[in-house]
Structure 1
Amino acid sequence: MSSTSTREVGPGAVTAVIALSGVVVSLMQTLVVPIIPKLPNLLHAEPSDASWVITATLLAAAVVTPIAGRLGDMFGKRRILVASLISLVAGSVVCALSDSLIPVIAGRVLQGLATGVIPVGISILRDELPTARVGSAVSLVSATLGVGGAIGLPVAAAIVQYAHWHVLFWLSAGLGVVCLALVIALLPESPNQAPGRFDVPGAVGLAAGLVCLLLPVTKGGDWGWTSGTTLGLFAGGVVVLVLWAVYEMRVAQPLVDLRVTVRRPVLFTNLASVLVGFAMYAMSLTLPQLLQSPEATGYGLGKSTLAAGLALAPGGLVMMALSPVSARITARRGARTALLIGVAVIGVGYGAGLLLMSQVWQIVITSMIVSAGVGIAYAAMPALIMGAVPVTETASANGVNALMRSIGTSVSSAVMAAILANMTMSLGPAQVPTENGFRLTYVVAMLATVVGLLFTLAIPRAVRSGGESGTGTVPADTPAVGATR
């Protein structure tokens, strides 16, 4: 049921503000991609140290999403949205004013901490919009996870080509200020809160475990996958997360309610999310490299960074265009069916890509098919989560789901980089990936979608319900939305 403030503003305006904020936050994923090769010179650092500009953002995003969700459930989702956007603006300004490594890494951490905007924003939609509008609005905002990244690549490439690299961060700061002003002016505070004591030990334990687990995933290629540092961090991460889970099961007000998380609908949706995130990020990593590979390789298309970004931009538009389609599938057939269709389309896209690698238009087709599947799948995930958790835990549950996607993208980054780094050919003094290396990345992404389909099939079928989720369905083996523990 809508609040008075929401009716005055209008559901469309609320959705538009949250969707714009989601696009701006997801821009951070690809904002620095065009300057990655130049970072060592720009920041006067070694290449292995400069890579922290990417790693720091990934780690901060993974850590913050479940924490921001829980804080939103407890203290107000609008407050956390405002705090997240302030972090984005502050981080952008720090990077824009910096020419050395440490300040830029600090700024990128602050930008990564804004990632909680998307799961918290989705939860605001559930709380504030009329039930009939929730499904389409959630689908639209979910699509911004991919749309921002797809649009960000050509925009960032154009800026780097025609202006100073600091303009990238001034742009993100300006967009952040616009979103911050709109949130403050138009969004009401959500009435659904779960007051209590914030689980500080749980937050510290989760952050430590995730950093120990994801840091070697992102840096293992530099350190060596069998090095003592890599293996030690992996082992430490597992130990810390196991101890954290034991603690969370015993504390009265946990950061993450693991009893809810292990319900079949939530558990298998989250597992499927890891695989969808993996498959989505594989496209972001491999297709630009394929487009930019030298023509002398025999398969490369020799395009500039800007041209490659423009070729992949239609994929972002497809994601946005198909978000209402996913909402209609969810309304008629259930979110589980929508997720099945989305994951299957991703697999079809990579299968087609194995045959479509020789022309730019073929890469564009591959990108659009994969993006279509990602758009449908990403839109279905929050509907499945919200149909299975109490209304007072919506933001926290969506935060955990966003974390699962982040884990998938981080693992994808490591796996695809390892494949392309180990299947190379000599081209003058340089080593470049072989055509078979790119084909193998497609095959691995296809295998990820197959596993994702199996996890999706394990999600219980839904029954019609008049719950508040806005999806029109609630998994058969879970209590209705809004039920208390």
Structure 2
Amino acid sequence: MPNQPARRSASDGLLIAVLAAAGISVSLMQTLIIPLIPQLPTLLDTTGANASWAITATLLTGAVATPMLGRLGDMFGPKWILVLCAVLLFVGSVIAAMTTSLIPLIIGRGLQGFGAPVIPLGISVLRAALPPERVASAMGLMSASLGVGGALGLPLSAVIAEQFNWHALFWCAAALGLASGILFVLLVPDLEPVSADHRFDPVGAVTLGIGLVLLLLPISKGAMWGWASATTLGMFAAAVATFGVFTWWQYRVPSPIVDMRTTLKRPVLLTNLASIAVGFGMFALSLVGPQLLEMPRETGFGLGQSMVATGLWMAPGGLAMMAAAPVAARVVSARGPKVVLVIGSTIIAVGYLAGTLMLGSPVGLMVLGLIVSFGVGFAFAALPALINAAVPVSETASANSINSLARSLGTSTSSAVMTAVLAQMTITFAGHALPSPAGFRTALLIAAAAAAGAALIALAIPKAPAGRDIVEEPDEALSEAAERLMSKRGDLVAVELADQRP
């Protein structure tokens, strides 16, 4: 049995480290290509609008694949679905690494999006395979890996893109996918399926996929198409209609891909709404920070940092997010996950409010990143514990997949809103429109409001029943896993920040 004492100690720490490292690896895919965005039209001999599909493709496939593969993980066990995700990530990375054309790159990036379900699937493995006293803290680290990878991806990809051919980014991604797949085969236990019903809902899967594409595509492309354009509004309307059909169908099919009765339960619904707000707040810093850091000093408020230096100033936030996980586990043990979500969301809101006064130096932005990221790590640590306390074991992977999707919806919406705000509040510099100081401050205030909203929603979540996936003691295996993942990166970031500091 997976919870026997023999699995405790070092093997538990290794399993946590492997799954958390895989979570970081797949979340790197979201920021992997950001340093290349200005160069993609030239590199691929295409327009900027067409090149942007290299980002959109990963977002769409990740959103569609996450709930579907989560359901398959419940039906057939998560191990081999994890391996499938790693294989598709590897194949997509190789395709992208071997091309200089737009269409193959979009296909490769789309396949990379199939890595997104690794995080909710990993959470389901941890819930089933670890001793009860280690579950919530380990899931917190796994959940936080989403933000950690996103924060560390920018400096790592910037260094690789500057020092090597741009294809090296995708070869590195292929290596991560291959390594993850091998480690999944060797170290992830082959758990019994938690769902006795092995019937898949193809109609629900297709309807959900269409609805997500109709929703996320105008969110990501609305600024380009025009928010009031017929295309944007028409797709939003079609998304609402499609989700209506999907909900109707899920109530009638014997084996739904999403159990709507569970999803609409008050604890689950409120947790997912809070997840959207936390995801919104988290992503705002990723958009505001780099733009302000790289803006020319001649503007009077820009910080004039290089691409690599910008990534390095932002990177400590990722480490803070990981460091927050074991601290959050102690609070979960003492007060429960609801309190942790309230605390984390409040830290994010306070950080952004204080951040409006920290925009004048790279150090100030780094401190802002540390505060916000620590709060995000706290909030993310609470989300899987809240979900798992409210759903049966047979729906662990699918319920956490929906929660992961909610966070992605928050980040996508944040991207659209922040882009619109910064595009509307501008100054003119050297003949170009650039975001103004007021625009940056407004963006931070909106993010603070979203985080405050998450805290208010969290207050309305019913308290989880005592003893369900709650940590009784701080998790030594979690600390060991976090130390393995942080030790070398922390030294590297500290040294390179000292070198890059103006």
Report how far residue 7 of structure 1 moved: 5.8
Report how far residue 462 of structure 1 moved.
Answer: 3.1
The 3 A distance-change label for structure 1 pair 363 and 7 is closer
Structure 1 length as normaliser, TM-score?
0.95
Which moved further from structure 2: 64-73 or 421-430?
Answer: 421-430
What SS is found at the alignment partner of 2:254? coil
CA distance in 1 between partners of 2:10 and 2:294 (Å): 46
What are the within-5 Å matches in structure 2 for residues 53-202 of structure 1? 53-194=54-195, 195-202=197-204
Counterpart for residue 413 of structure 1: 415
Contact 1:9 1:186 in 2 (8 A): no
Paired residue type of 1:109:
G
The question of whether the paired residues in 1 share the 8 Å contact of 2:389 and 2:464 is answered with no
SS at match of 2:359: coil
User: Residues 248 and 256 of structure 1 are in contact (CA less than 8 Å); yes or no, is this contact kept in structure 2?
Assistant: yes
Q: CA contact under 8 A between 2:127 and 2:135: conserved in structure 1?
A: yes
Aligned to 1:213: 215
Once the two structures are superposed, residues 170-211 of structure 1 have per-residue CA deviations (whole angstroms, 9 ceiling, x without a partner) of 001111111111111111112242132101100100000010
In 2, distance between residues paired with 1:88 and 1:323? 26
Aligned-residue offset at 1:2: 2.4
Partner in structure 2 of residue 378 of structure 1: 380
Per-residue deviation, residues 362-418 of structure 1 (Å, max 9, x unmatched): 000000000000000011100000011000100000000000001001101101111
Question: Deviation digits for residues 143-172 of structure 1, max 9, x if unmatched?
Answer: 111111111110101111111110000001
- Which residue type is aligned with residue 151 of structure 2? A
Question: Of the candidates 353, 356, 361, which is equivalent to residue 354 of structure 1?
Answer: 356
Given candidates 301, 304, 311, the residue that maps to 1:302 is: 304
Task: Summarize the Cα distance change of 1:317–1:8 in structure 2 as closer, same or farther, 3 Å threshold.
Answer: closer
Q: Which amino acid aligns with 1:59?
A: L
**Equivalent position to 1:233, from 232, 235, 238:** 235
Q: Is the 8 A contact 1:292 1:304 kept in 2?
A: yes
Q: What is the aligned partner in structure 1 of residue 49 from structure 2?
A: 48
2:19 is equivalent to residue 2 of structure 1: no
Return 382-391 or 12-21, whichever deviates more.
12-21
Matches of 1:253 and 1:343, distance apart in 2: 35
What is residue 19 of structure 1 aligned with on the other side?
20
> Is contact 1:192-1:391 (8 Å) kept?
no
TM-aligned CA deviation for residue 13 of structure 1: 1.4
Give the counterpart of 1:455 among 457, 463, 470.
457
Aligned to 2:496: none
In 2: Cα distance, 1:20 partner to 1:413 partner? 26
Give the AA of the match of 1:22.
G
Q: Secondary structure at the match of 2:305?
A: coil
- Counterpart of 1:260? 262
For residue 212 of structure 1, what is the amino acid of its counterpart? L
Q: What amino acid is the match of 1:299? A: F
Post-superposition offset of 1:297 = 1.2
Structure 1, residues 118-162: CA drift from partner, whole Å, max 9, x if none?
000011000000111112211111111111111111010111111
Gaps of 5+ in 1: 473-485
Tell whether the 8 Å contact from 1:127 to 1:191 is kept in structure 2 after alignment: no
Q: Secondary structure at the match of 2:272?
A: helix
- Cα RMSD for the two superposed structures: 1.5
Q: What's the CA shift for 1:328?
A: 1.0
Equivalent in the alignment of 2:249: 247
Q: 2:343·2:455 contact (CA, 8 Å) conserved in 1?
A: no
Verify the 8 A CA contact 1:383 1:471 in the aligned structure 2: no
Mapped to 2, the partners of 1:339 and 1:426 lie a distance apart of 41
| 1:256-280 deviation per Cα after TM superposition (whole angstroms, max 9, x unaligned) | 0010011111110000000000000
The CA deviation string for residues 59-84 of structure 1, in whole angstroms up to 9 with x for no partner, is 11111111111010001100110000
TM-score after normalising by structure 2: 0.92
What residue identity is the alignment partner of 1:163?
Answer: F
Q: Give every structure 1 segment of 4 or more consecutive aligned residues whose post-TM-superposition deviation is greater than 3 Å.
A: 3-9
Q: Tell whether the 8 Å contact from 1:127 to 1:192 is kept in structure 2 after alignment.
A: no
CA contact (8 A) 1:274 1:407 kept: yes
SS state of the match for residue 464, structure 1? coil
How many pairs were matched up? 471
How far is the alpha carbon of 1:31 from its aligned partner? Answer: 0.3
Q: Kindly provide the CA deviation profile for residues 406-433 of structure 1, in whole angstroms up to 9, marking residues without a partner as x.
A: 1001101101111111111111122211
Give the CA deviation at 1:471.
4.6
* 2:2 counterpart letter in structure 1: S
- Quick check: 1:33–1:153 contact (8 Å CA) kept in 2? yes
Q: Show CA shifts across 1:421-460 (max 9, x none).
A: 1111111122211111111100110111121112111101
SS of equivalent to 2:391 = coil
- Note the residue ranges of structure 2 that are not aligned, 5 or more in a row: 473-502
SS in 2 for 1:202: helix
Distance in structure 1 (CA, Å) of the matches to 2:310 and 2:234: 38
- Partner SS, residue 37 of structure 1: coil
**Letter of the aligned partner of 2:409 in structure 1?**
I
Specify the code of the residue in structure 2 equivalent to 1:57.
Answer: T
Could you tell me whether the CA contact under 8 Å between 2:134 and 2:471 is conserved in 1? no
Q: Residue 332 of structure 2 corresponds to which residue in structure 1?
A: 330
Offset at residue 26 of structure 1 (A): 0.5
Report the Cα offset of residue 3 of structure 1.
4.9
Q: Counterpart amino acid of 1:284?
A: S
Give the letter aligned to residue 23 of structure 1. I
User: Aligned to 2:380, what secondary structure does the other structure show?
Assistant: helix
1:274 counterpart (273, 276, 279):
276
2:165 alignment partner, SS class? coil
My pick for the range that moved more, 135-144 or 203-212, is 135-144
Q: Give % identity.
A: 51
Query: C-alpha distance in 2, partners of 1:470/1:113?
Result: 30
